[in-house]
Structure 1
């Protein structure tokens, strides 16, 4: 689901809080850490394609580039 949300907003920033609420219906600390783990795992899979990457936009959210 995170990847789908990032693809839908490709080359645009997905607000972290919005992402948390859409995917888990909550934005507390533990769900935020869970999302960080999922994004980390996605990055590992995306490394196979050098044209794709997920950037952290400090204080805002995530951005899928490529």
Structure 2
């Protein structure tokens, strides 16, 4: 989803509904955990970054 919308902020609600199929309170931190793990895998390539847009969500930049 971040790749399809690179250089654009993907709202947290959109991620929760489209990937986790749920926007409940219990899944609210799921994107944060996933992004942390994804950043670890992508750190080998410094041209790719996942940027946290405070209060909104994330965007992928390359």
Shared fold (TM-score, shorter chain, > 0.5): yes
**Paired residue total:** 62
Residue 57 of structure 1, CA deviation: 0.5
What do residues 5-59 of structure 1 show as CA deviations (whole Å, max 9, x unaligned)?
A: 0000011110111110111121123212122111100000110000001011111
**After the TM superposition, which segments of 4 or more aligned residues of structure 1 sit over 4 Å from their partners?**
none
- Alignment-derived partner of residue 63 in structure 1: 59
**TM-score with structure 2 setting the length:** 0.90
- Alignment-derived partner of residue 28 in structure 2: 32
Runs of 5+ consecutive residues of structure 2 not aligned to the other structure: none
Measured in 2, the distance between the counterparts of 1:29 and 1:36 equals 13
Runs of 5+ consecutive residues of structure 1 not aligned to the other structure: none
- CA RMSD for the aligned pairs? 1.0
**TM-score with structure 1 setting the length:** 0.85
Structure 1 or 2: more helix by fraction = 1
